[in-house]
Structure 1
């Protein structure tokens, strides 16, 4: 599993998100709105999507706690090959103290 955390100013993040959406073919089904989930819920939905065959997922508006939960999930999944080709792009909330 590869995880890329996108941070920076809102303007820089928007440029990177636009670039990632272009790379994903502007397929919004490959995006997740992290604001809709708690930390564990986000991990759950990512696992469901990955199990269903999505190999690259863009996650928007992640809090620090959500990013930490995803990193912990990756640590737990290191011994399996099920998610080794999964790529997650986690876009951090700009100027967030969460």
Structure 2
């Protein structure tokens, strides 16, 4: 599993890595592989990541992540590193911009 943390760009800044990752996402039969982290508590986010990976999605982008959510996903990565079905999973975590 590969995890990339991207800091959300403010409106007046260039959206370099965020924009290029968004442009590269492939539509699946379930739509684009986007997850809105602000709709989930920490455990709920881990659950939806597990569900999406189990149904075969190999690249996911999680928008509006808080610090606790990012930390939990990184810990989940450590706990699941030996699972073969998650080896090729790529997760892009987009951290909320701090104002």
Q: Do these two structures clear the TM 0.5 threshold for a shared fold by scoring above it? A: yes
Q: TM-score, normalised by structure 1?
A: 0.86
SS at match of 1:57: strand
Residue pair 1:6, 1:13 contacting (<8 A) in 2 also: no
* Runs of 5+ unmatched residues, structure 2: none
- SS of structure 2 residue aligned to 1:10: coil
Partner in structure 1 of residue 41 of structure 2: 38
Q: Distance in 1 between matches of 2:16 and 2:73?
A: 23
Counterparts in 2 of 1:13 and 1:69: CA distance versus 1, 3 Å:
farther
Verify the 8 A CA contact 1:7 1:13 in the aligned structure 2.
no
Q: How many residues align?
A: 96
SS at match of 1:85: coil
Contact conserved, 1:9 with 1:95, CA < 8 A, in 2? no
Is the helix fraction higher in 1 or 2?
A: 1
**CA–CA distance in structure 2, aligned partners of residues 13 and 35 of structure 1:** 23
**CA distance in 1: counterparts of 2:46 and 2:97, whole angstroms:** 21
What secondary structure is seen at the aligned counterpart in 1 of 2:84?
Answer: coil
Distance 1:34 1:13, change over 3 A: farther
